[in-house]
Amino acid sequence: MDVDLRKLRYFVAVAEELHFGRAAERLHIAQPVLSRQIRALEDELKVQLFARDRRRTELTAAGEQLLADARPLLAGANALRLRVGRAARGQNSFTVGFMPGLIVTAAVRALSDRHPELTVNVVRTNWDDQVEVVRDGRVDVSYIRLPVDQSGLTVRPLMSEPRVAVLPADHRLAGKETIAIADLADEHLLQNPDAVPEWRDIATELRDGTRVAVGHFSAVEEKLEHVATGRGVTVLPLSTATFYTRPDIVHVTVRDIPPNQVCLAWEAGRRSPLIREFAALAESL
């Protein structure tokens, strides 16, 4: 049995919204049409994907599994369309993703010098999309910072660097040569706690359930604005902290957490000679 990608897209919309009406609006189709498509998908798979009553819609166990599998499948299909479209139009281009603080100029220039006919583009990424841009075909390769979900990717280590705490210039810890992660236990972290599990495991606000008004941010610039105003701290790779130097914040090395690992990632199934060549350049530089 072949799975209809259109039905999968419809299913993902309902699974993310958990509301047929909102999903239909998002897809720009009528709700009865959406309901018929979901029933058809359930008939094809011979499972129930949603449990519905008058008050709510929930995923079944089969629905949870399909959602986990459908997202990478749809991303792969979209990436395939992008690459085939570029080939059909005769575009001779290569795109490199990079995280804040990482300078990729040398490798990009080296590839351009070797292939003058090639247009080499760069795309800035962040913590949330650094591998998604690979999976959905927006970039050919991406400089990433671990940890990430490496499924379906080839990941090649490039370097490691210390991680630092970024603090307001008048913070009690400013001016110290190094600190321990325990020194930040009473601080609010302006990023996903899973990005700094060493802090997450000792954080006062997570242990006692303290509610913090300021949330978590993925963009470095947003984090630094909130650090500067004294609303929290953030832990960043050293190169990112030095790239965004400003007078109202400081950074201090955290001595007892592992360094950040920088890698190059690309889709595991691709066999492009340009990707192999760029990976070798990135390693050498």
pLDDT at 211 over 80: no
3-state SS assignment for residue 57: strand
Instruction: Copy the structure tokens of residue 137.
Output: 């075909």
Domains of the chain: 5-81 (1.10.10.10), 92-160+261-284 (3.40.190.10), 163-258 (3.40.190.10)
Which residue, chain included where needed, has tokens 């395939």? 80
Of 231, 237, 228, the residue nearest 216 (C-alpha): 231
Of 188, 161, 149, 167, the residue nearest 71 (C-alpha): 149
pLDDT at 218: 77
In this predicted model, what pLDDT tens digit does every residue of 20-48 receive, in sequence order? Answer: 999 999 999 999 999 999 999 999 999 99
Mean pLDDT of 204-215: 74
Angle, CA 264 vertex, CA 262 and CA 269 arms, to 5°: 145
Q: Distance (Å, rounded) from C-alpha 191 to C-alpha 207?
A: 17
**Count of helices and strands (H, E) across the chain:** 11, 11
pTM above 0.85, yes or no: no
pLDDT at 52 over 90: no
Say how many C-beta atoms besides its own lie within 10 A of residue 64's C-beta.
Answer: 13
Mean pLDDT of 11-15: 94
pLDDT at 88 over 70: no
Confidence of residue 86 (pLDDT cuts 50, 70, 90): low
